[in-house]
């Protein structure tokens, strides 16, 4: 049984001084996760949000529909000249994200610290 997707947005400052929005996901990401995934992203002010981290630490499962939502988020971010970095993916989903080409649009990191250090 699929668990409900939850998301929340945190604002951080990277060691480089850049303002960073972090969207933290929990639960499973599937077709029913549109509001949690795209809604959280679309609530960010486009004019001031230039760097976004997607935190998958609390995500247990992502199906193909969920991956499509992540890709849609990445396309919208690219069109808004925003940079996106992902962290907290399991080894399996790191491989899946790489295979489907997400690495062309987002950096993949093991931890939030690693992602922030890359900025």
Average pLDDT, the chain: 95
Q: What is the pLDDT of residues 26-53, one digit of tens each?
A: 999 999 999 999 999 999 998 899 999 9
- Each residue of 77-87: pLDDT tens digit? 999 999 999 99
Q: Can you give the residue ranges of every domain in the chain?
A: 6-117
Give me 92's structure tokens. 């399996």
Give residue 3's pLDDT band: very low, low, confident or very high (50, 70, 90): confident
Looking at the structure, give the CATH architecture of the domain made up of residues 6-117: 2-Layer Sandwich (3.30)
Q: Indicate the pTM of the whole model.
A: 0.95
**DSSP state letter for 6:** E
Do 18 and 36 meet the contact criterion of CB atoms below 8 Å apart? no
Is the pLDDT at 112 greater than 90? The verdict is yes
Roughly how many angstroms between the first and final C-alpha of the chain, as a whole number? 37
């Amino acid at each position: 049984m699929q668990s409900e997707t939850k998301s929340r947005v945190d604002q951080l400052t990277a060691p480089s001084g850049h303002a960073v929005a972090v969207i933290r996901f929990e639960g499973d990401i599937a077709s029913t996760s549109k509001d949690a995934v795209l809604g959280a992203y679309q609530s960010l002010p486009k004019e001031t949000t230039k760097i976004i981290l997607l935190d998958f630490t609390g995500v247990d499962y992502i199906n193909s529909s969920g991956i499509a939502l992540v890709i849609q988020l990445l396309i919208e971010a690219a069109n808004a000249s925003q940079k996106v970095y992902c962290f907290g993916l399991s080894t399996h989903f790191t491989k899946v994200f790489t295979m489907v080409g997400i690495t062309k649009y987002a950096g993949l990191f093991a931890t939030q610290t690693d992602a922030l250090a890359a900025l």
